[in-house]
Every structure is written in structure tokens, then in C-alpha cells.
Amino acid sequence: MLEDIQNIPVSYGTVRSFTLGKKAWEKQFSMHGFPKDFLGWEAVTKILISRSTNIHSDSIRTLDQVHGREIAYFPDSNSSEHLIDSDWNRKAVGIQIGDGLVTREPGLVLVIRTADCVPVFVYDKAKPFVAVVHSGWRGTLVGITEKLIAWMLSNGSYEENIGIYFGPSISRNNYEVQWPVAKEFLNMPPGVVQESPSGGYLLGIKEAISVRIRREFPQIKIDPHSKNVYVTDEFFSHRASEEGRNFNVIYWEP
């Protein structure tokens, strides 16, 4: 049930990540529909991960995702989240709104949900730090991943120690957009946007994220390879007319 598993040795222990997709969902919730609001998604996120692993639900953190660039920092397991360099400080009562999560605390589990968008996993090789970002075309345009990296650098990280890799997401060949979206990416190298035979444009979100990071932070190493959710039975894809979500998880252990 755990897909796309990564176990990365670092100086302070092991960074672990994985994605839960269709198999995990069908095992736990085969007789139920999908939630319609954040509180429902938050509840099933904790149930799904805790039942599929040995992770306790109290250790799991997630957000009400809005395709923006707000990032929540969880300094430890007992503290409430803090917004990183907040741009607009929008917060509903009792609900954290944002698209990125960060922690330095061991065993604190960060989760974002995706259906086509790119889960961007980030870690520091030299000092305790893990994060995960939800980046669709909107989040990519507003630079949520670059914002996270800039915050890391301002808090003692170095470019050469930052590792980035992508989770399951849709590929350029299956992600068609129209001109109002495509034109926002035309300042990027050839290949990020391509004309589609149907008259639209094929947009590579992973490629766009990589270009933006390399332009601003050239020493950071990126692993751009990830599974295409549109053509696999393992994961949900919105473009394939599916309502489900993929649960992208990262944490670290000493």
C-alpha cells in the first residue's frame, strides 16, 4: 500500500517519505465516498496513515490546501503552527490554511494531498529539517518552493546541503492547459510548454519548478523523476476524472 517509498540516510538519522494512493484508500474506505471539506479530509488523512503504518494519528499534521504559498512551521509536537513569512495571513477559526509544511522535530509527520499537482519533498542533509510542498501551476507561479528554500537559507541551511525530489504527479504529456495559463510560463526554456495537437498547450509543472529553483538556487540538487499519476492504477488523477487524493508523507527519525 505504501508507494514511492524513500529512505534517505542523513547526518541526523533517516528521512522517510512515501505516498498512499488507491490501494490504501480502497482497503480502508472502499464503502465510503470522498470528503467534501477540509475537516473531512483531515480526519481521513489521519485515519488512513495511522491504519496503514505504525504512525500515531497525534503525530500527523496537514493543511487546508488552497493553491497558494503559505507555509506552516511546526517547531515541535506540542506547539501550534507558525506561518513562515506570511503573505496574507488568512486563517479560518481552528483551521490552518496553506500549501507547505515544515518541521525540525523527529517523528512529526507532514502530509499534503494531491491529485495531479506536484508534491515537492525537501530536506537538509546536514541538520534536522524536512518539508513538503503542494505545487500546482498556481503554486509554481507564486514560487512556494522558492519561498521555502529562501526561509531555509535564512535559518542556517546551505544550498549544497538541500535535497529536493518530487512525488507522484501528472506528466507534461497528459496535462493540457489553455492560453491564459500557458502564457504565464513562456519565459521558461523550450519544453516546459508545448503546443498540443488538440489546440491547447501541454504544461510540465515538474519541469517549471525545476527551472525556477535552478535559476535562483543553482547549487541545489533536484531529483526530477516521479511516477505519472495519469497513467497508473496506483494513484488518483483529477485529469482522469477521479475524485480521490494521494497522501504524500514525509518525516525523519534519529
Q: What is the pLDDT along the chain (254 residues), one digit of tens a residue?
A: 899 999 999 999 999 999 999 999 999 998 789 999 999 999 999 999 999 999 999 999 999 999 999 999 998 777 766 777 665 444 444 558 899 999 999 999 999 999 999 999 999 999 999 999 999 999 999 999 999 999 999 999 999 999 999 999 999 999 999 999 999 999 999 889 999 999 999 999 999 999 999 999 999 999 988 999 999 999 999 999 999 999 999 999 99
Q: How far is CA 58 from CA 155, 171, 183, 251, in A?
A: 27, 34, 43, 14
Can you give the pLDDT at residue 80?
66
* Burial class for 179, CB neighbours closer than 10 Å (0-12, 13-18, 19+): exposed
Can you give the pLDDT at residue 86?
60
What's the pLDDT tens digit per position in 148-165? 999 999 999 999 999 999
Q: Give the C-alpha separation, 147 to 160, whole Å.
A: 17
Q: Give the C-alpha separation, 219 to 159, whole Å.
A: 6
Can you give the pLDDT at residue 88?
47
Neighbours of 177 (CB within 10 A): 18
H or E stretch at 133: strand 130-135
Can you give the pLDDT at residue 93?
43
Of 91, 99, 47, the closest CA to residue 72 belongs to 99
Q: pTM for this structure?
A: 0.95
Can you give the pLDDT at residue 104?
95
Cross-strand partners of 19 = 3, 248
Can you give the pLDDT at residue 92?
44
Can you give the pLDDT at residue 77?
76
Give the domains, in start order, of the chain with CATH numbers.
Answer: 2-253 (3.60.140.10)
Neighbours of 184 (CB within 10 A): 17
3-state secondary structure of 112: strand
Can you give the pLDDT at residue 225?
87
